[in-house]
Amino acid sequence: MLGQMQQAPLLLTDILRHALRNSANQEIVTRLVEGGIHRYTYREAGERIAQLAHALVEMGIGEGDRVAVIGWNTHRQLELYYALAGIGAVCHTINPRLGPENAGYVMNHAGNKAVFYDATFAPLAAGLAPHLPQVENYVELCPEGAQTQNGLDAKSYEALIAGKPSEYEWPGLDENTACAMCYTSGTTGKPKGVLYSHRALVLQTLVASLPSSLGCGPDDVCLPVVPMFHVNAWGVPYTALLLGMKLVLPGPGLDGKNLHEMIVEEDVTYALGVPTVWLGLLAYVAENNLDFGKLKYSLIGGSALPEKIIRGYDAYGVRCRQGWGMTEMSPLGTVNVEEPGFYDRPIDERIPEQVKQGKAVPFVDMRVVTPNGDRQPHDGESEGHLQVRGPWIIDTYYGFEENALTEDGWFDTGDVAVIHPDGQMQITDRAKDVIKSGGEWISSIDIENAALNHPDVVQAAALGMHHPKWDERPLLVVQLKPGSSTDLSAIQSFVNEKLPKISAVDDVQAVEEIPLGATGKVLKTKLREHFKDYKLPTAA
Amino acid sequence: MLGQMQQAPLLLTDILRHALRNSANQEIVTRLVEGGIHRYTYREAGERIAQLAHALVEMGIGEGDRVAVIGWNTHRQLELYYALAGIGAVCHTINPRLGPENAGYVMNHAGNKAVFYDATFAPLAAGLAPHLPQVENYVELCPEGAQTQNGLDAKSYEALIAGKPSEYEWPGLDENTACAMCYTSGTTGKPKGVLYSHRALVLQTLVASLPSSLGCGPDDVCLPVVPMFHVNAWGVPYTALLLGMKLVLPGPGLDGKNLHEMIVEEDVTYALGVPTVWLGLLAYVAENNLDFGKLKYSLIGGSALPEKIIRGYDAYGVRCRQGWGMTEMSPLGTVNVEEPGFYDRPIDERIPEQVKQGKAVPFVDMRVVTPNGDRQPHDGESEGHLQVRGPWIIDTYYGFEENALTEDGWFDTGDVAVIHPDGQMQITDRAKDVIKSGGEWISSIDIENAALNHPDVVQAAALGMHHPKWDERPLLVVQLKPGSSTDLSAIQSFVNEKLPKISAVDDVQAVEEIPLGATGKVLKTKLREHFKDYKLPTAA
Ligand SMILES: Nc1ncnc2c1ncn2[C@@H]1O[C@H](COP(=O)(O)OP(=O)(O)OP(=O)(O)O)[C@@H](O)[C@H]1O
Ligand SMILES: Nc1ncnc2c1ncn2[C@@H]1O[C@H](COP(=O)(O)OP(=O)(O)OP(=O)(O)O)[C@@H](O)[C@H]1O
Ligand SMILES: [Mg+2]
Ligand SMILES: [Mg+2]
């Protein structure tokens, strides 16, 4: 027997409508690519989104068209998010750090009909143009007449929308209509496309916005440092409008100085980003004897949250919350939300809790399985491959025939994890990064975490290197503070003291700079190449 | 083009599963019908819900079966909510205050296959039994062997579930499957059934749980005084488990003394109920020189929140938030959530805001139309019929052929309201209670609100009485404090001083007791009958 309630589709447009009627005077503040700060209200954003929708339709963009956007976190990209989704088109965000080859590949693969880009990325766009026969229009996200001179016959975004009607009659759409897409960063093989639906993003937004998930609310001032060019900036552009939060968009200013200025000047209380960004900001604030103003929480994910960051921010009264997710999960999977009274406990007791990835949010199911597919108990010890399912988790990659799931309908995350009895999930490693020593699995995350605690270590990566007896043993690669005189054997002792014997590293090597990938994470593939002829001293 | 995410249905079972894995040790505390306090964890609740599911299936209850529940807010009714929905059956809550005739009518109309009832309602159940040929089983919500002796061959709930397996493999269901039903209280005509779907209740739970809606969180201790026998206690049994809140269920103890004890002993921070309950509790606390312990918020809806309650609770540091909704809306429509800094303002400035019904929650669309169906502007002045639409709003009443909507798909609430430019909705009156004086509409709510501010007025109702010149003019009916010696003309002057001239009441009459309906609201139909031969002094 079916219920007899209305069948109203879940659309991103409903979030926009809600924001406009209930929080019309709330602010959105942007650091502009062309310099200076831009500031407007939800109401004005709504008017410009409507104008943009008219312009898109006049440009020939319609239902199902994929439109590429290569840009920083700005109000203009926010407008593209809502206008494209609103007319039934697909906002295909491109990670400019993918590099021209991968960027060109995904734009062709997705069949982008138009490209919107920030001035910063004009050279990238111009270089790609000859290889993108299907693109009909280029639009630079810039004031009228300010287009970069680069041979692209690009329109200016501001000229494009100027004078268009500031209301739009959004069409009714099936809630499963595609609204956005994002490709994986292709650290292994070609990037693969994830095609998000309105339903998936609305549901993930509702769940992310719960006080038991991100834990931010209408009184917060929210700064997504996490880029809008990768997995919809973890959904913040939707969460912010749903809750009616003041939104602060950092544009191209992702360095310590610019971020610090935005946080303090705009009274940011809640920020989100990957660990590398928080390390940089922390160093800047410490070196310059500054503080974090009203910042209360930072949500950190994308790779493991190191103890060093937790302690560093804690000293300033900023609380670090860990989240875990992935492109294929829209991205939210878990958040580590503290129990009541958690912050009354001393930091040494808190650290072991805070380095966990967190509990699954509602409607995300998790399991950990052995390589044979047997389910592991949730005992905090039994490791295995982490698999997930739920309404905002991928079914099939774009353009693939077969779905991306196990036979029984779960998506394998590629991560290795344990689940604790209280529901906390803890990632040991990526399956491909796990160090396999004599049949045991060593977590590279644990080693890196220990290494980062050394005051002279700026960045760390643990790699499994061939060993004749144990199969693999850990090598620790570090990037030292400029001018540091610590010798590597001292670092090795420091690290090994903190680790269980089996995880003790066999050697430490230093590199000038540990390479980071397109999403700000350590690029182990590149490091492995660098060390391909290296032999462990223990392997003699 | 459709997105390519997993199609996972939205089921109430997912809320239960989430609660059990993430908050297994959280508490549910109940005042038992049989006396004493019962206390257990989510984990134990989950085990008993599974046991109950087995028992229900063994009893022959299956998908689509409607099962009647007549009970107080207890852990047993909570278990019925989840177990019935989980197996695909329908939890049909019966409001015992409907009286035997209406209760019998709705139970037959719904075709209930089994009846679960609290001992308090054993006489009602026994009296109805001869008229309910389709009922196969009666179960009393009581310990083993403690059934009321009343000729009903009833099972005991505790005996029924004892020894059953404490895990259940919940079936996958279409998210539009019916899970619960509730009849309107039939103040006009026969009660009509609303059949809720899993999808509708899950979505309304997600939205109610946002910090911008109810505004409670995992650290709150939640007391639903609003009955589980009417509109799912405003969804609290779902919201509490979704957020992992401690839940306090008052059982039959709805008087001031019992409620006060629960609030103080269990550290309740967030309570929900209709105004009459809050008036009773306030009087009890004031008379006995008590306080409200840790209570911070009470969410009040079901009828207009009077100034008297706001001021009364404010003096104790308890903040009253108004909500509006209805049976046909699952029920949540609006909540009046304060802007940041609101409570820094003096109470006299706050009152005019707090008496508004609030802003629509996400995904609920509201409009106000004239009797011709023309849309009124949202200017805070233009009154009209309030109409709504959205994913948890009724489409068709149970057993009806035609849907309950306007031609263009909106549900008419029967309320008259204005919408302010900032999105705040304010109810003037029920359409049938509005006092029509010389072409103008007078709000009975405004008059009642003014009257309740008089210290000797315990309850008030304004009625439109026939007037030869103006068509209708207001009569104010009051119930005075026992022993009050105030004369009615003093009350008339008091009230008319606060009202615009057109709303000034033509007369005041006292009654021993103002009758309340099945949901704790003033029963104007009954009052109108009482005054059917009455003539206004101004109508001479
Ligand atoms: N809190 C966290 N702790 C540890 N690892 C994390 C955390 N959050 C995310 N990750 C890692 O990031 C992965 C998801 O990241 P994302 O989808 O952004 O791209 P990627 O997997 O890094 O690269 P690619 O696009 O090539 O797959 C997860 O599978 C996990 O390995
Ligand atoms: N905050 C509020 N202020 C004013 N009126 C309210 C408020 N909340 C609810 N109401 C009134 O209650 C109505 C919905 O109540 P409910 O569905 O519980 O049953 P009812 O309408 O009172 O009775 P019936 O079942 O006979 O229709 C609304 O239509 C409105 O008139
Ligand atoms: Mg990946
Ligand atoms: Mg009604």
Is the Cβ pair A360, B199 closer than 8 Å?
no
Which candidate from A3, A210, A362 shows the least CB-CB separation from B179?
A: A3
- What is the CB < 6 Å shell around ligand 2? B 184-187, 231, 301-305, 322, 324, 326-327, 357, 413-415, 427, 430, 519, 521
pLDDT tens-digit series, residues B257-303:
999 999 999 999 999 999 999 999 999 999 999 999 999 999 999 99
In this structure, which ligand is nearest to the CA of A324?
1
Query: Are the beta carbons of B414 and B434 closer than 8 angstroms?
Result: no
Whole-number Å distance between alpha carbons of A534 and A510: 13
Neighbours of B37 (CB within 10 A): 14
As beta bridge partners, residue B467 has B471
Mean pLDDT for chain A?
Answer: 96
Whole-number Å distance between alpha carbons of A358 and A324: 7
Neighbours of B151 (CB within 10 A): 10
Active site residues of A: 184, 328, 436, 441
Is the Cβ pair A8, B389 closer than 8 Å?
yes
Taken in order A225, A227, A231, A235, the sign of the CA dihedral is positive
What 3-state DSSP class applies to B68? strand
Segment B466-475 shows an average pLDDT of: 96
| Spatial CB neighbours of B352, under 8 Å, sequence gap ≥ 6 | none
Alpha-helical regions (H) of A173-255: 198-208, 236-243
CA terminus-to-terminus distance, chain A? 71
Query: Are the beta carbons of A517 and A97 closer than 8 angstroms?
Result: yes
> A331: cis peptide before it, omega within 30°?
yes
Residue A308 has pLDDT above 90, yes or no: yes
What 3-state DSSP class applies to A95? coil
The Cα diameter of chain B in Å comes to 74
Which residue among B190, B436, B481, B535 is the active-site one? Answer: B436
% of chain A residues with pLDDT over 70: 100
Residue B540 has pLDDT above 80, yes or no: no
Distance A327 CA to ligand 3 centre (A): 7
Tell me the shortest Cα–Cα distance from B435 to chain A, in angstroms: 30
Predicted local distance difference test score (pLDDT) of residue B188: 66
Is the Cβ pair A196, B3 closer than 8 Å?
yes
% of chain B residues with pLDDT over 70: 100
> B421: cis peptide before it, omega within 30°?
no
Report the chain A residue with the minimal C-alpha distance to residue B196. Answer: A3
Mean pLDDT for chain B?
Answer: 96
Long-range contacts of the stretch A191-194 (C-beta < 8 A, 24+): A191/A98, A191/A102, A191/A105, A191/A106, A192/A397, A192/A398, A192/A400, A193/A106, A193/A109, A193/A110, A193/A397, A193/A398, A193/A399, A194/A327, A194/A328, A194/A330, A194/A394, A194/A397, A194/A398, A194/B4
Closest ligand 1 atom number to CA of residue A358: 1
Rg of the Cα atoms in chain A:
23
Whole-number Å distance between alpha carbons of B81 and B229: 11
Whole-number Å distance between alpha carbons of A270 and A280: 17
pLDDT tens-digit series, residues B365-423:
999 999 998 999 999 999 999 999 999 999 999 999 999 999 999 999 999 999 999 99
The single residue listed with the structure tokens 């705040």 is B424
Residue A540 has pLDDT above 90, yes or no: no
Residue B340 has pLDDT above 90, yes or no: no
Confidence grade of residue A519 (pLDDT, cut at 50, 70, 90):
confident
Which candidate from B5, B18, B243 shows the least CB-CB separation from A393?
A: B5
Distance A254 CA to ligand 3 centre (A): 23
Count of positions (residues) in chain A: 540
The single residue listed with the structure tokens 């209301």 is A167
Structure tokens at A324: 């875990």
Residue B236 has pLDDT above 70, yes or no: yes
Query: Are the beta carbons of A358 and A322 closer than 8 angstroms?
Result: yes
Whole-number Å distance between alpha carbons of B132 and B104: 7
Residue A423: its chain B contacts at CB < 8 A?
21-22, 24
Known catalytic residue at B436:
yes
Neighbours of B18 (CB within 10 A): 24
| Amino acid residing at A539 | A
> Among B309, B327, B330, B366, which is best to mutate for testing ligand 2, by the most ligand atoms less than 8 A from CB?
B327
Residue B189 has pLDDT above 80, yes or no: no
How far is CA A292 from each of CA A273, A285, A336, B101, rounded to the nearest angstrom?
Answer: 15, 8, 22, 66
Predicted local distance difference test score (pLDDT) of residue B185: 85
Report the chain B residue with the minimal C-alpha distance to residue A21. Answer: B423
> Among B214, B303, B334, B447, which is best to mutate for testing ligand 2, by the most ligand atoms less than 8 A from CB?
B303
Indicate the burial class of A510 (C-beta count within 10 angstroms; 0-12, 13-18, 19 or more): middle
- What is the CB < 6 Å shell around ligand 1? A 184-187, 301-305, 322, 324, 326-327, 357, 413-415, 427, 430, 519, 521
The single residue listed with the structure tokens 């111009």 is A126
How far is CA B328 from each of CA A276, A453, B365, B405, B516, rounded to the nearest angstrom?
Answer: 50, 58, 14, 11, 21
Whole-number Å distance between alpha carbons of B298 and B322: 8
Which candidate from A5, A174, A340 shows the least CB-CB separation from B391?
A: A5
| Spatial CB neighbours of A48, under 8 Å, sequence gap ≥ 6 | A75, A79, A161, A166
Neighbours of B60 (CB within 10 A): 11
Distance A125 CA to ligand 1 centre (A): 27
Which candidate from A10, A212, A396 shows the least CB-CB separation from B244?
A: A212
Is the Cβ pair B18, A363 closer than 8 Å?
yes
Closest ligand 2 atom number to CA of residue B327: 17
Among residues B242, B130, B125, B107, the alpha carbon closest in space to that of B181 is found at: B107
Residue A398: its chain B contacts at CB < 8 A?
4
Is the Cβ pair B340, A197 closer than 8 Å?
no
A interface test, pick of B4, B15, B170, B294 with most A CB neighbours within 10 Å: B4
Tell how far CA A24 is from the center of its chain.
Answer: 28
Predicted local distance difference test score (pLDDT) of residue B19: 98
DSSP sequence for B169-180: -PPP--TTBEEE
Known catalytic residue at B113:
no
Taken in order A522, A526, A527, A528, the sign of the CA dihedral is positive
According to DSSP, the β-strands at B114-117 and B270-273 are: unpaired
Is the Cβ pair A211, B197 closer than 8 Å?
no
Residue B109 has pLDDT above 90, yes or no: yes
Closest ligand 1 atom number to CA of residue A445: 4
Query: Are the beta carbons of A415 and A365 closer than 8 angstroms?
Result: no
Whole-number Å distance between alpha carbons of B436 and B444: 10
Residue A26: its chain B contacts at CB < 8 A?
none
How far is CA A67 from each of CA A137, A343, B342, rounded to the nearest angstrom?
Answer: 10, 45, 43
Known catalytic residue at B184:
yes
CB pairs under 8 A between A and B: 207
Is the Cβ pair A7, B362 closer than 8 Å?
no
Tell me the shortest Cα–Cα distance from B65 to chain A, in angstroms: 8
Distance B397 CA to ligand 4 centre (A): 12
Predicted local distance difference test score (pLDDT) of residue A188: 66
pLDDT tens-digit series, residues A33-58:
999 999 999 999 999 999 999 999 99
Neighbours of B217 (CB within 10 A): 21
Predicted local distance difference test score (pLDDT) of residue A518: 83
Segment B116-135 shows an average pLDDT of: 97
Query: Are the beta carbons of B19 and B241 closer than 8 angstroms?
Result: yes
Tell me the shortest Cα–Cα distance from A168 to chain B, in angstroms: 17
b or e along B266-304 (b: 16 or more beta carbons within 10 Å of the residue's beta carbon)? bebbbbbbbbbbbbbbbebbeeeebebbebbbbbbbbbb
Q: For residue A221, which phi and psi values (nearest 5 degrees)?
A: -110, 120
Taken in order B429, B434, B435, B436, the sign of the CA dihedral is positive
Is the Cβ pair B3, A359 closer than 8 Å?
no
Residue B519 has pLDDT above 90, yes or no: no
Distance B303 CA to ligand 2 centre (A): 6
Structure tokens at B136: 């196969």
Lowest mean per-residue pLDDT among A23-27, A91-95, B328-332, B338-342: B338-342
Residue minimizing CA distance to atom 23 of ligand 2: B185
Which residue among B328, B353, B448, B472 is the active-site one? Answer: B328
Whole-number Å distance between alpha carbons of A300 and A304: 8
Whole-number Å distance between alpha carbons of A90 and A398: 12
Whole-number Å distance between alpha carbons of A518 and A499: 30
Taken in order A439, A440, A445, A450, the sign of the CA dihedral is negative
Taken in order A115, A121, A127, A131, the sign of the CA dihedral is negative
Alpha-helical regions (H) of B248-339: 256-265, 275-287, 307-314
Closest ligand 2 atom number to CA of residue B414: 29
Tell how far CA B357 is from the center of its chain.
Answer: 14
